[in-house]
Amino acid sequence: MRRDEALDALERAETVGRRAHDRGRWYMLFAVLFSAATFTLTVTIGLFPTTTTIFTAMAVYLVLLTCLITFALRQPVQPRGYGWLHGLAMLGWGAVYGVTLFVGYAFFPEDPAWWVSGAALGTVPPMVAGWLAVRRNRSAA
């Protein structure tokens, strides 16, 4: 193989790798929308804990979640590290959400400082996962 052939092959690998990587950027959008939905849900059910509000917020959230899951399942590419990134993001979010909910209802009912902080903290794991999925090396080439 000649030098120019090697350069051509490397350039081709870079181009194809970049295309594939860029198609995995949907996960950042997923993370942003999921974070926005979960932030709104947490703040709503924490600051306005009536049966009607909780029921309505949960119903809207479930519809949004179904749309997000459908969107994710229809994507042709899973970004690098998707499995463990998404798994850790959901575990992290679940832990923060659980603590915010149970501790909040027990000790800080309708306290904006607690609920807004908890809701904001819950967006960190998915946002970090989305950012990591986007910034990872495009390819080994």
Partner 1 sequence: MNHPRGMLDDVIHSPVRFSVVAALAAVDRAEFRFVRDTVEVTDSALSKQVTVLENAGYVRVHKVAVGRRTRTSLSLSEEGRTAFEQHVRALRDIASGEAVRPPGDG
Binding of partner 1 by 63 (CB under 8 A): no
CA–CA distance, 32 with 119 (Å, rounded to integer): 14
By CB under 8 A, is residue 82 in contact with partner 1? Answer: yes
Q: 109: left (phi > 0), else alpha (psi -120 to 50), else beta?
A: beta
For partner 1, the binding residue among 46, 79, 122, 125 (CB under 8 A) is: 79
What is the rounded distance in angstroms from the CA atom of residue 131 to the CA atom of residue 124? 10
CB of 85 to partner 1, least distance (A): 9
**Does 70 participate in binding partner 1 (rule CB under 8 A)?**
no
Evaluate the CA torsion angle 13, 15, 20, 21 in order and state its sign: positive
**Residues that bind partner 1 in the complex, under the rule CB under 8 A:** 1-3, 6-7, 9-10, 12-14, 16-21, 23-24, 76-83, 138-141
